[in-house]
Amino acid sequence: MMWISALLFPLLGYLCGSLPFSIWVTRFVKGVDVRNAGSGHATTTNTIRQAGFAWGALVLILDIAKGFLPVWLSARVVGQSLVLSYVVPLTAAMVVVGHCWPVLAQFRGGMGLASAGGTLLAVNPLAFLICLGVLILLVLVVHHSARASVFAGIAVPPVLWLFRIHDIAFWIALAVGIVIALRFLIDWNRKYRELWLDRPN
């Protein structure tokens, strides 16, 4: 059972992360591929541009949920086991990997922020709020969503440590932060006109 959990939950995380809700929703509402316009990514903001705020809000909720569920399940099964303590953050990282490079969407997905938020929300809501605050602050300071997200992925673990959050949430933040930072590097030189809807000039 121990080693089955070590394999099953990261795989479940990747498969849940690979559910391309923004692609499905936008295709259902508008008959288009969300990745063919805007930022070119399967994201909530791109869904808002093409299908409207309400559909974008639905995608956001679903993307958070697909991060929440496998991590919550893995945390409940693994519990306090020191031997399997790595399974929960690995599951969280695989959720974000699945969201960014989904097997169900030709490995062309989103950027992983919403699903990463769901993984943290599953184990520590305070950590989730702190990470969200760090991201918003960096976006306001840097004025570039992609660069701010790279910095947030790097900065969030030490910030949580300073807030004395040393539990599994710290390790999840470290694992997903690395994936987020790497993913957003592809947009490092993009030109942004808006903070959150990041429409190119």
Q: Which of 74-78, 142-146, 175-179, 197-201 is the least confident region?
A: 197-201
On the 0-12 / 13-18 / 19+ scale of CB atoms within 10 A, 152 is: buried
Across 4-10, average pLDDT: 82
Structure tokens at 21: 């809700």
pLDDT band at 152 (very low <50, low <70, confident <90, very high): very high
Tell me: the pLDDT tens digits for 79-105?
766 556 889 999 999 999 999 999 999
Q: Give the per-residue pLDDT at 199.
A: 47
Which segments of the chain does DSSP mark as H helices, in order? 2-17, 21-30, 44-51, 53-78, 87-100, 113-121, 125-142, 145-162, 168-184
Across 142-170, average pLDDT: 93
Q: Give the per-residue pLDDT at 195.
A: 42
CA–CA gap between residue 141 and residue 62 (Å, rounded): 29
Q: List Cβ neighbours of 53 (8 Å cut-off, separation of 6 or more).
A: none
Evaluated on CA atoms 178, 80, 61, 95, the torsion sign reads: positive
Is-contact 17 103, C-beta < 8 A? Answer: no
Structure tokens at 162: 């300073």
Across 37-58, average pLDDT: 89
pLDDT band at 159 (very low <50, low <70, confident <90, very high): very high
Asked if pLDDT for residue 175 goes beyond 70, the answer is yes
> Does pTM top 0.75 for this prediction?
yes
Asked if pLDDT for residue 2 goes beyond 70, the answer is no
Q: What percent of the chain has pLDDT over 70?
A: 90
pLDDT band at 117 (very low <50, low <70, confident <90, very high): very high
pLDDT band at 3 (very low <50, low <70, confident <90, very high): low
CA distances from 120 to 23, 35, 116, 132 (A): 24, 27, 7, 10
Q: What is the mean pLDDT of the chain?
A: 89
